[in-house]
Homo-oligomer: A and B are copies of this chain.
Amino acid sequence: MENKEPLIITNKDDMRRWSRTAKAQGKIVGFVPTMGYLHEGHLSLVQECKQHSHLTVVSIYVNPGQFSPNEDLSTYPSDFIGDIDKLKNKAGGVDVVFHPKNLYDYGKHDGVVNARSSDLAEGKVVSCVENSGMGHETWVRVERLEKGLCGSSRPVFFKGVATIVTKLFNIVEPDVAVFGKKDYQQWRIIERMVRDLDFGIKIIGAELLRDPDGLAKSSRNVHLSPEQRKKATSISESLFNAKTAAQKGQVVCRELKDLVIKTIHEAGGKVDYAEIVDQESLEALEEIKSPAVFCIAAWFGNVRLLDNVEIIV
């Protein structure tokens, strides 16, 4: 059976108008923001979204605001035609693909100030948006949750994420939005932001998807050699072992973390961080007493992989 072609919208005003029209007709609008190059993990978010809405919007937009100038914005992979095909044939079709060109281009304005060279010279940490001097200067920060875990090694990342999600929420005006628990910190940041800023939007956290060998699905997995891939399964294996150990009463985090770090290290991986944190506050725990999540970022070769397991004892 042929699934429907999505309507492709590139303009902010057209997007908002479509959404308002749909909502005026009583439709629940669901939204899945992505940076494209879709894999089965994304498609599972779309499936989840459909459980909660009448109409589904997927955005495909690589957000320069979450990359710092020394990160890989220019080489970020894209495959728009392939993405549309997957949405149509593997996710059962969606209603709209929102695919804007540049969400920071506000047109020419007298008096709009671009990034000051002094900011850059002083070594202030900036995103690609600030670096290129587009005049955008409003940032949303979730000040505690953005620290730690991925925030430590990527200082502009979460302010870029919170800001682009705010922009997309204000353009798409959805009733429901779905975020993957694969990016656990990101999901919690968006949840907190929606609470703190009173967005009238329900946030759904969708479960992490794994390949049969246990590796968490990610666009980056294709960059692993077959050998690296085999070794990278040490991440999920050691996380599952830690979860089992915790549930058997081994709740001292230092010991659980040491075991995981050792396992990944022996498999040839380099651990960026391995932290057991509270599921909501993301504060590091010494012992697992409350609902926790074990979050890991580790390098295999040039590929940085994220994974996590929730642990409730």
Q: Interface of A with B (CB < 8 Å)?
A: 12, 16, 24, 103, 106, 109-113, 136-145, 162-163, 166-167, 170-171, 173, 192-193, 195-200, 278-281, 283, 290-291
Contacts and interface: CB of A to CB of B under 8 A. Distances in A.
Nearest to A139: B141
Nearest to A12: B198
Contact of A113 (B137, B166, B283): B283
A142 B16 CA distance: 24
A145 B137 CA distance: 8
B138 A281 contact: no
A112 B283 CA distance: 10
A280 B200 contact: no
A137 B171 CA distance: 24
Contacts of A198: 12, 103, 166-167, 170-171
Most buried by B among A193, A195, A196: A196
Most buried by B among A24, A110, A137, A144: A137
Contacts of A139: 140-141, 143
A144 B137 contact: yes
Contacts of A192: 137-138
Contact of A110 (B16, B106, B167, B280): B280
A279 B137 contact: no
A39 B200 CA distance: 32
Nearest 6 CB-CB pairs, A to B?
A111-B280, A138-B196, A111-B281, A170-B198, A113-B281, A167-B198
